[in-house]
Amino acid sequence: MNETYFQKGFGLKSEVGPVLARTYQSAVVERLKALGYEAGASGLHFKLAREFGFCYGVDRAVDYAYQTRRQFPDRRVFLSGEIIHNPDVNRRIQDMGIRILDHFQDPVERFAEVAAGDVVILPAFGVSVPELAHLKSKQCVLVDTTCGSVLNVWKKVHYYARDGYTVIIHGKHHHEETRATASQALTHAGGQYLCVRDVAETELVCDYIRGNISAEDLMSRFREAASSDFNPALHLQRIGLANQTTMLMSETLKVQETLRRAMVDRHGEAGLESRFRAFDTICSATQERQDAVLEMLDKGGLDMMIVIGGYNSSNTQALARMCAPRVTTYYVDNPQCVTEAGIRHKAVGLSEETTTATWLPPGDVRIGITAGASTPDSVVGETIERILALRGRTAADLTQAADIDHSSPTFAKAAAGK
């Protein structure tokens, strides 16, 4: 650590801790936890996922942002982009006078306003190698909150690129984390990358590996998602797979197996190791949140799931994708989505919000609740309070008596998406 690059905060945890607790914790959530994660009032039965909301990486990034403001009260403080993908947290950080910079790909354009001596906070998902180099050249103070789990992915990418493997990243190529991860591959001579978003895109890559489509056809689809001089004939001979940390685990396993089979079909089983490597780099926080949702869905008895988190939050999207095929799912990005007139939400796979008026039937309703890794408890708690208010109840009315019958949902697959 030197005086212009900080990775471990400023020793102000005890000062900002009470502020963070007041801002982001929730008495309602604490009460639900104390009641065994299941409680109800007036026929509304809530079941909270065992793991949800803020992960260790987000906790740390938000803590450092608050510490940074205290450490540099008189300096201009910027965030190189949204600190995390949650509108409530980003608004509060802007309210402290921290400017969130616009999302230009070109670092010169993105950091045009930043001058020597300014403070720039780097988010939990990291920044690309050119962005970091550009900021360092500007002689500003950098507060790097890149999560340890993201650094772990970068380490794997370096191993692949160093050993001559093209890095295949299962992730969204425009996502900050994936762009940062991809840039790590290019720090090695001859380093290359290609991003696949899902199994369908992976199948296209496999079609090329098996000789079923041309290089032109492949690159017409992946031009934006691959290194600039990517040549399929050269760069799909030896491949190493890594993931954006927040992808859906079940999909990641399918991507891995799909690529492995294609490499076997093309080159044979013998010597596969010299052509194909794979590490699951989904972070433990993402995994725990997905496991908790899976457990709830497998137990059954829910009439609906409410998934809370930013619409651009990759890990929240993954939770909603798990729930939607199995139970009526409402993906909401803030508590104000719950109103007397209905629930405003985004259906999985659609880009527009929609409002469902008839989402809460009279009588007993069993509601599962989860939230992405960038959603604070305060947002989860307020959402629950607004639902309770629709029946004239408050969190104080919640009792343990709400025993969820796991066998018979009364309102399954109602009117989501209408």
Q: Given the complex with ligand SF4, which of 10 and 56 has the nearer CB atom?
A: 56
Element holding 88 (H helix, E strand)? helix 87-95
Phi/psi class of residue 24: alpha, beta or left (left: φ > 0; alpha: ψ in -120 to 50)? alpha
Distance between CA 417 and CA 109 in Å, rounded? 39
CB of 123 vs ligand SF4, minimal distance in Å: 9
CB of 146 to ligand SF4, least distance (A): 9
Q: Which residue is nearest to ligand SF4 (CB)?
A: 57
- Which of 256/375 has CB closer to ligand SF4? 375
**Which CB sits closer to ligand SF4, 78 or 154?**
154
**Cα–Cα distance measured from residue 89 to residue 45, given in angstroms and rounded to the nearest whole number:** 28
Indicate the helix (H) or strand (E) that contains 22: helix 13-24
**C-beta closer to ligand SF4: residue 120 or 124:** 124
Min dist. Cβ of residue 120 to ligand SF4 (A): 18
Shorter beta-carbon distance to ligand SF4: residue 35 or 100: 100
Q: Whole-angstrom Cα distance, residue 241 to residue 254?
A: 12
Task: Kindly list the strands in the beta sheet with 119-122, ordered across the sheet, starting from the edge strand earlier in the chain.
Answer: 5-6, 141-144, 119-122, 77-79, 98-100
Q: Give the shortest CB-310-to-ligand SF4 separation in angstroms.
A: 12
How many CA atoms within 13 Å lie on the side-chain side of 277?
17
For residue 326 the two structure tokens come to: 């199995």
Task: State the pairing for strand pair 342-346/353-356.
Answer: antiparallel
Question: Which residues contact ligand SF4 by CB under 6 A?
Answer: 55-58, 124, 147, 149-150, 245-246, 283, 285-286, 315, 373
The dihedral region occupied by 271, where left means phi > 0, alpha psi between -120 and 50, and beta the remainder, is left
Active site residue 269: no
**Residue length of the chain:** 418
Catalytic residue among 38, 176, 177, 201: 177
Minimum distance from residue 58 beta carbon to ligand SF4 (Å):
5
> Which of 344, 348, 359, 357 has the alpha carbon at shortest distance from 323?
348
Please give the torsion angle defined by the CA atoms of residues 333, 335, 339 and 345, in that order, rounded to the nearest 10 degrees: 10
Q: How far is the CB of 354 from ligand SF4 (least distance, A)?
A: 27
Which CB sits closer to ligand SF4, 195 or 236?
195
Q: Which sequence positions are flagged as catalytic? A: 177
